[in-house]
Amino acid sequence: MTTLTTTAASPGMRRRAASFLHRHGGVRLSLLLSAPLAWLGLAYLGALAALFVTAFWSTDVFTGDVVKVFTWANFTDLVTGEVYRTVALRSIGVAAAVTLIDLVVAFPMAFAMAKLASPRAQRWLVIAVLTPLWASYLVKAYAWRVMLSSDGVLGWGYGLTATVVTLSYLWLPYMILPIYAGLERLPNSLLDAAGDLGARGWRTFRTVVWPLTFPAAVAGSIFTFSLSLGDYITVKIVGGKTQLIGNVVYDNIGAANNLPFAAAVATVPVVIMLVYLAAVRRTGALENL
């Protein structure tokens, strides 16, 4: 009986709801946007804003409680502290080095995949590059720890170089895939045309291939740069005593229990990434992610 009434009632309700939605595009749009915007727009951006506010507070030296009074102290410490400047510059250097290494390694690989391999081989090559992305991040960092350890396969030991090598390894697929996708979209006829007009390999690369795949390379660099900039786990695994921004943030939350200062340090990579994202938005890189 109840099932009968519900089945009898619901089509009418549903039909009315459907036609209401059909007629009111604005309502449809608001409904679609409501949840994602509440989550990411309000909650997430709100959390970031709250963290930013915390950066202007301080910690009571004796009780360890957060003192909610505005102060520039954290940022003054950050700018004047020799240590922090070194760490920040080192982190940017590591992120830039990783991005550059990945770009140099990834581009020829992606080019060979997109333009030299047969369609069948291409499919397999994409799988071959994708597969390690699914293998755990920790597992890969750990693999390098084992290989770099003094009695391991390579035996180079831990430190800054080990960190750069491991990070480059970790984020390499993130660089290959966007560039490969960009090169695949690049019509072969353009390369042929460049050839017909007399351009050799390097000239074709410089004037045709690179300008057209630049947004894809920038998309890849967003990953490699950002992921390196915030990393503190890999540094702990293969970095020996090396400290990056992430470690300073982590240590200030854990051992030092100084959330305001940690928040102030954390704004450094955020500002760098926001500047980076704003700078590359015009290249269309965000559409290539």
Partner 1 sequence: MNLSRTSRTLLRVALAAGLAVIYVPLAVVLLNSFNSDRTFSWPPAGFTLRWWGAAWDSAGLREALWTSVQAGLGATVIALVLGTMAAFAVQRYRFFGRETVSLVIVLPIALPGIVTGIALSNTFHTVLGLPLGLLTVIVGHATFCVVTVYNNVLARLRRMGLNLEEASADLGADTITTFRLVTFPMMRSALLAGGLLAFALSFDEIIVTTFTAGAGVRTLPIWIFENLFRPNQAPVVNVVAAALILLSVIPIYLAQRLSGGDPQTH
Q: Which of residues 71-90 bind partner 1 (CB under 8 A)?
A: none
DSSP character for 151?
T
Site for partner 1 in 82-141 (CB under 8 A): 105-106, 108-109, 111-113, 115-116, 125, 127-140
Give the SS3 label for residue 67.
strand
Q: Which is nearer to partner 1, 90 or 115 (CB)?
A: 115
Half-sphere exposure (CA, 13 Å, Cβ side) for 206?
5
Check binding of 69 to partner 1 (CB under 8 A): no
CB of residue 55 to partner 1, shortest distance in Å: 11
Q: For residues 35 and 61, which CB has a smaller minimum distance to partner 1 in the complex?
A: 35
Burial 64-98 (b: 16+ CB within 10 A, else e): eeeeeeeeeebbeebeeeeebeebbebbbebbebb
- Report whether 267 contacts 72 (CB < 8 A): no
Of 172, 165, 163, whose CA–CA distance to 107 is shortest? 172
Q: How far apart are CA 12 and CA 242, in angstroms?
A: 67
**For residues 194-253, which are near partner 1 according to CB under 8 A?**
195, 200-201, 204, 222, 226-227, 229-233, 237, 245-246, 249-250, 253
| Contact call for residue 15 and partner 1 (CB under 8 A) | yes
For position 279 contacting partner 1 by CB under 8 A, the verdict is: no
Residue 6, interface with partner 1 (CB under 8 A)?
no
Specify the amino acid at residue 151.
D
For partner 1, which residue of 88, 177, 264, 266 counts as binding (CB under 8 A)?
Answer: 266
**Of 153, 206, 207, 211, which one interacts with partner 1 (CB under 8 A)?**
153
Structure tokens, 108: 């020829």
- Closest CB to partner 1 among residues 1, 119: 119
